[in-house]
């Protein structure tokens, strides 16, 4: 008995039944996994490293990556996710610009039977089964670590004032919400730590500089600490501090988060006091998780990335080891 099928060139051929089963299965097995990935944007040095890690890991793993840059806009991410659903990708992964407003589109992905992996940032949804796993940092802990460094600094400097200006990340984003909360929790341990101004700098250097200029204009030398939710805003703000005639790292302590190359350079110049690491190199873990999900293997609901804290004193020793 035989039946007709198409070979890889699309030509109709006759083949015995037993022989058709094996090559067709083999053809399916050889089909590369397709991941649709919606990235936040290109707002920071961290994000550039994160994008490079994801693209590079997909290439190494032989995964077909459909990459969409949302330019920091949730509506662009929703469009990208809908387009991935229409294209019937195997797995959808995304780093959500903001925490809320995902229920509808994630329900559409679930109805289409396409698993979703959250990368870097989490979401607030009514039904946790709308995503399979969340791979990323513990942002609350990062905020706590930043505050802990200041609490320790205050213990060693009993006569210093700690009037903090805070540069928040993108409004409504998980890292901005969590880093603020973690910092606020630990700063209570030292009553001299006071937040005198707090505003978003949208995770960019340009906005960090602009908002710091405004803080300096209204508060002047009353400011003794800058807490920035990422290194890029801190680097922009350092420029504003210098232009206003103050010494960053001395007159104004600078504490930030990410641990990117630019922050290490600023520490080596004595302009930044400490950076709390947030590891952007999530590509290899994301590809592993996607393969496991597609193969029907169990994956943990939460995969937390291990990270450290780098004060300026260790910057010279650590700098050559930095990968981003
Ligand atoms: O979500 C991670 C944060 O987003 C990084 O701290 C920041 O630099 C980026 O823009």
Give the ligand 1 atom nearest the CA of 257. 6
- What are 127-147's pLDDT values in tens digits? 999 999 999 999 999 999 999
In this prediction, residue 31 carries a pLDDT of: 84
CA-CA distances (angstroms) from residue 119 to 149, 170, 272, 277?
Answer: 27, 17, 28, 17
Question: From ligand 1's centre to the CA of 98, what distance in Å?
Answer: 12
- Which CATH fold would you assign to the domain 139-278? Rossmann fold (3.40.50)
Residue 257's nearest CA partner among 173, 145, 95 is 145
Q: What is the atom index within ligand 1 of the atom nearest the CA of 231?
A: 8
What was the pLDDT predicted at 21? 47
Residues with CB under 6 A from ligand 1: 43-44, 46-47, 120-121, 175, 203, 230, 232, 257-258, 278
In order of 157, 177, 286, 305, the CA distances from 282 in angstroms are 38, 21, 6, 8
Reply yes or no on whether the pLDDT at 220 is more than 80: yes
Ramachandran region of residue 244, left (φ > 0), alpha (ψ -120 to 50) or beta?
Answer: alpha
Q: Confidence class of residue 290 from pLDDT cuts 50, 70 and 90?
A: very high
Looking at 168-320, list the stretches that DSSP marks H as alpha helix, in order from N- to C-terminal side.
174-187, 205-219, 231-243, 261-268, 283-294, 315-318
Average pLDDT over residues 35-57: 98
pLDDT tens digits, residue range 293-302? 999 999 999 9
User: Chain-wide mean pLDDT for the chain?
Assistant: 92
Residue 5: is its pLDDT beyond 80? no
DSSP letter string, 72-140: T-HHHHHHHHHHHHHTT-SEEEE--SSSSS-HHHHHHHHHTT--EEEESS----S-GGGSSEEEE--HH
Distance 299 CA to ligand 1 centre (A): 25
> Contact at 8 Å (CB) between 195 and 164?
yes
Residue 90 CA to ligand 1 centre (angstroms): 27
| Residue pair 64/33 in contact by the 8 Å Cβ criterion | yes
Q: Looking at the CA of residue 120, tell me the nearest atom of ligand 1.
A: 1
- pLDDT band, very low/low/confident/very high, at 7 (cuts 50, 70, 90): very low
Ligand 1 center to 208 CA (angstroms)? 13
| Structural domain boundaries in the chain | 34-137+280-306, 139-278
pTM: 0.90
Asked whether the beta carbons of 262 and 231 are under 8 A apart, the reply is: yes
Mean pLDDT in residue range 191-210:
98
- Which ligand 1 atom minimizes the distance to the CA of 174? 1
**Which of 72, 119, 120 is the best mutation target for the ligand 1 pocket, counting ligand atoms within 8 Å of the beta carbon and taking the most?**
120
Pick the CATH number of 34-137+280-306 from 3.40.50.2300, 2.40.70.10, 3.40.190.10, 3.30.360.10: 3.40.50.2300
- In the chain, the percentage of residues whose pLDDT exceeds 90 is 90
Q: Average pLDDT for residues 19-36, to the nearest whole number?
A: 65
CA distance 12 to 16: 13
Query: pLDDT tens digits, residue range 233-284?
Result: 999 999 999 999 999 999 999 999 999 999 999 999 999 999 999 999 999 9
Q: What is the pLDDT of residue 234?
A: 98
């Amino acid at each position: 008995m035989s039946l007709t099928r198409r070979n890889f060139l699309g030509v109709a051929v006759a083949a015995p039944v037993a022989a058709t089963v094996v090559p067709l299965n083999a053809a399916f097995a050889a089909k590369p996994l397709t991941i649709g990935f919606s990235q936040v944007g290109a707002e920071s040095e961290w994000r550039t490293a994160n994008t490079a890690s994801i693209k590079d890991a997909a290439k190494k793993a032989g995964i077909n990556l459909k990459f969409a840059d949302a330019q920091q806009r949730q509506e662009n991410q929703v469009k990208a996710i809908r387009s991935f659903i229409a294209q019937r990708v195997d797995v959808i992964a995304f780093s959500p610009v903001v925490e809320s407003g995902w229920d509808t589109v994630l329900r559409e992905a679930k109805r289409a039977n396409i698993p979703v992996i959250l990368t870097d940032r989490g979401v607030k949804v009514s039904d946790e089964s709308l995503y399979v796993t969340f791979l990323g940092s513990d942002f609350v802990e990062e905020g706590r670590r930043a505050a802990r460094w200041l609490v320790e600094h205050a213990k060693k400097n009993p006569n210093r004032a700690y009037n903090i200006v805070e540069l928040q990340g993108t409004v409504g984003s998980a890292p901005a919400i969590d880093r603020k909360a973690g910092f606020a929790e630990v700063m209570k341990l030292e009553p001299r730590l006071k937040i005198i101004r707090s505003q978003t700098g949208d995770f960019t250097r340009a906005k960090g500089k602009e908002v710091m200029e405004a803080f300096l204009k209204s508060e002047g030398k009353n400011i003794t600490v800058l807490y920035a939710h990422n290194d890029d805003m801190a680097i922009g703000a350092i420029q504003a501090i210098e232009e206003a005639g103050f010494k960053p790292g001395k007159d104004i302590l600078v504490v930030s988060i990410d641990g990117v190359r630019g922050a290490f350079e600023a520490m080596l110049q004595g302009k930044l006091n400490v950076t709390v690491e947030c590891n952007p190199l999530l590509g290899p873990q994301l590809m592993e998780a996607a393969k496991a999900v597609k193969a029907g293997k169990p994956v943990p609901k939460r995969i937390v990335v291990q990270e450290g804290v780098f004060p300026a004193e260790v910057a010279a020793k650590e700098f050559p080891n930095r990968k981003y």
